[in-house]
Every structure is written in C-alpha cells, then in structure tokens.
C-alpha cells in the first residue's frame, strides 16, 4: 500500500528507543575535527565541559549539584548505582519494564538487603512507599515501555534517603525540579537527540557524599561500575574509558539547539503539543484509545495507543514501507498498540501527518 505523498510526514522517525537525530547534528559530526582524537586532550575535554555546562543549564541544576557522565547507558548505571549508591537497601516504584529492571538489579546484589518494591500494573504508576529501612528511593520519571509519566518528589520529609530518578526518556522533554532529586540520570539517545554509549547524571551534594562514603567503605566495586572514578573523571571533563565522540558531538549540538530555542520550558510545551494531538485523535476514533487511562499519567514524550479491530503489526508494516519508522509497541508489553515518541526533535506538524497516514492505512487495510 502506498500512502499519498501529501499525507506523509517530512521526517518519519518516531522511535522511542534510539530517537530522531537532527540533520544539523549529523552535519556537525561530519565536520568535527575532534573525531578520532584523544579524549584526554583539550579539544575533547572542552566538548565534555560544554555538555556538562549545557545539561546543568537546561535542567536548572541547583547550586552545588554536579553533572557526571560515564561509559555505558542506563543499564550500566543501574548496576553502578547498586554498587555505589545503595548502602543497605533500595526501595523502588515498579510500573513497567525499565523500572522493574533496576529493582531486579538491586534485589540481586548479594551485598544488599532484599529490595522493597511497590508495583503497579503496566499503564499505572507506583512510587516507592516510605520505609525507614530504605536508603534510596528509585523510580523513572517516564516509563518508556508503557508511556506513563510519574511525579518527581521527595518521599520522606526528612530527606534521609536519596531520591534516584531514571530520566532516560524524560530529560530534556519534561520539566523537572531537580531540588526534589539527588540523582537524575539518563541516556542521551531520546529527548537529547544523540546516540547511545553514555550515561549522564545530575547529582546533589548528598549523593556525592554517598558515593564517596561507599567508595571508602571497602566494598568491592568493579572500576567500570564505580561511581567514584566516574565522578573524579567527570570533574576533569573526561570519562574512565574512551567515550564515543560522535555521541558527545550530537549531544552538545542538540543541547545548544534546545537552549537557543527557549530551554526546557519550550521543549516541554513542544512535546505536549505533539502528544496532545495523538491522545485527542485516539479519543475520537472507534479503533483507537489511549493505553494510559489516567490523563494525569499520560506521558508527553512517549504516547501509547491501543488498537481494536485492526492489527498493529499490519499498520506498522505499511507505515514502515512508506518511511514511517518505529511506531511499534514495546516488545515485552505484548499489546496490540502503537507507541510514538514525541521528543522535542519531532516536529508537531509531522505528528499531524502521522495521524493522517494512520487513518489512511486503517481505512484500507
């Protein structure tokens, strides 16, 4: 089936995994004289310094908070956090695949007490319950697998336990008060329009103290998963091992674009404009409905739409053959649904064209 050209988006990349990378970013990588040079020398260290400064500026990091980065993505950071942030026991909110994975990582660590996990079914939200035994509270700001947005706040008034937030699919597209967190960590291949290979974390002074405390405790921690060397290297504007410089170039350029366009407020308004179109469209169609029932929990950056009477696999196959990519549901969720990323790089006008294309396909499939 061929979708008419006048219905197609200009850019058909709507993936929630690796996201749309702006062509300006690719041109920057092509022109970069830092590619293929040492990450220990001034040019690349200057690039890392710019990334750290721009992340702090975009997210509004409070005074005393630091921006760390290290090799690997959020999966590597889960293990690093188990080694370097949890003293004895973690408490988690688990309401999708990625929040559950971090809970499993801390629960499996033989040097930690069993994790305390508050669960909700996919499509719902669960924050960890207050518990004096917990020394970190962890959950995602946005659950990428289900399209649920969660509040970011302190669990205990005394703030004795660290608040550790997975912001992989939220950072740069959803507003946040970092003062309510101690660790706000993410990979850069979603709202921040870059590629994989890095994790980034904005950490409070209390989180720095915890990292240094555990590093001095005698606990065995593999160097690659140790946050103290990552912190020390970040302060030198480098990483423990060689980073992907292309990822840094893409990230720095995209951060500059977001800041020049109006910062986090502008980005959040843009993602909400895009996602609202999809939710409103699904509410008007007999064959579609938003997966997340509670409007307050509907993500502005990852939209999940259930289909009825038509197979999502068939729709996705036709869309893909017409250059509209990666609108499939998260594979382990097992639902007949579309999942559409509405990150800042996605033009709201392209979302409108996506909707027209889906309607065209469903009418004829």
Calpha distance 351→353 (Å, rounded): 5
Predicted pLDDT of residue 157: 81
Predicted pLDDT of residue 298: 98
Average pLDDT by stretches of 10, the chain with 365 residues: 98 94 97 96 98 98 98 94 98 96 96 98 97 97 97 91 98 98 98 96 98 97 96 97 96 98 98 98 98 98 98 98 97 95 98 98 96
Instruction: Tell me, yes or no, if the pTM score tops 0.95.
Output: yes
Calpha distance 172→103 (Å, rounded): 24
Q: Sign of the C-alpha dihedral, residues 137, 141, 144, 146?
A: positive
- State how far the alpha carbon of 260 is from the alpha carbons of 58, 79, 108, 173, 266, in Å: 10, 35, 44, 15, 10
Predicted pLDDT of residue 45: 98
Under 8 Å between Cβ of 29 and 249: yes
Q: What order do you get walking across the sheet with 288-290 strand by strand?
A: 288-290, 302-307, 337-341
């Amino acid at each position: 089936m061929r979708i008419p050209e006048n219905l197609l988006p200009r850019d058909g990349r709507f993936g929630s995994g690796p996201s749309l990378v702006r062509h300006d970013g690719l041109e920057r990588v092509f022109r970069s004289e830092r590619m293929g040079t040492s990450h220990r020398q001034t040019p690349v260290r200057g690039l890392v310094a710019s990334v750290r400064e721009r992340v702090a500026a975009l997210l509004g990091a409070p005074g005393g908070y630091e921006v760390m980065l290290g090799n690997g993505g959020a999966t590597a950071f889960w293990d690093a956090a188990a080694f370097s942030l949890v003293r004895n026991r973690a408490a988690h909110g688990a309401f999708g695949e990625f929040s559950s994975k971090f809970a499993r990582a801390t629960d499996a660590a033989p040097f930690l007490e069993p994790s305390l996990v508050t669960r909700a079914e996919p499509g719902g939200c669960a924050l960890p319950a207050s518990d004096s035994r917990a020394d970190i509270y962890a959950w995602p700001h946005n659950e990428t697998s289900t399209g649920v947005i969660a509040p970011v706040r302190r669990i205990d008034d005394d703030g004795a336990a660290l608040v550790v937030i997975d912001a992989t699919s939220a950072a740069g597209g959803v507003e946040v008060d970092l003062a309510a967190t101690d660790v706000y960590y993410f990979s850069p291949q979603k709202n921040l329009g870059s590629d994989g290979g890095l994790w980034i974390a904005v950490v409070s002074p209390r989180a720095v103290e915890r990292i240094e405390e555990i590093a001095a405790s005698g606990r065995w921690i593999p160097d690659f998963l140790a946050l103290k060397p990552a912190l020390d290297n970040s302060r030198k504007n480098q990483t423990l091992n060689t980073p992907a410089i292309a990822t840094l170039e893409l990230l720095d350029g995209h951060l500059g674009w977001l800041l020049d366009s109006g910062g986090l407020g502008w980005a959040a308004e843009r993602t909400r404009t895009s996602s609202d179109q999809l939710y409103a469209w699904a509410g008007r169609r007999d064959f579609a409905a938003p997966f997340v029932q509670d409007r307050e929990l509907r993500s502005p950056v990852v939209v999940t739409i259930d289909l009825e009477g038509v197979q999502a696999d068939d729709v996705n196959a036709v869309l893909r053959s017409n250059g509209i990519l990666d609108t499939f549901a998260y594979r382990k969720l097992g639902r007949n649904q579309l999942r559409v990323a509405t990150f800042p790089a996605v033009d709201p006008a392209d979302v409108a064209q996506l909707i027209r294309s889906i309607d065209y396909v469903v009418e004829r499939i």
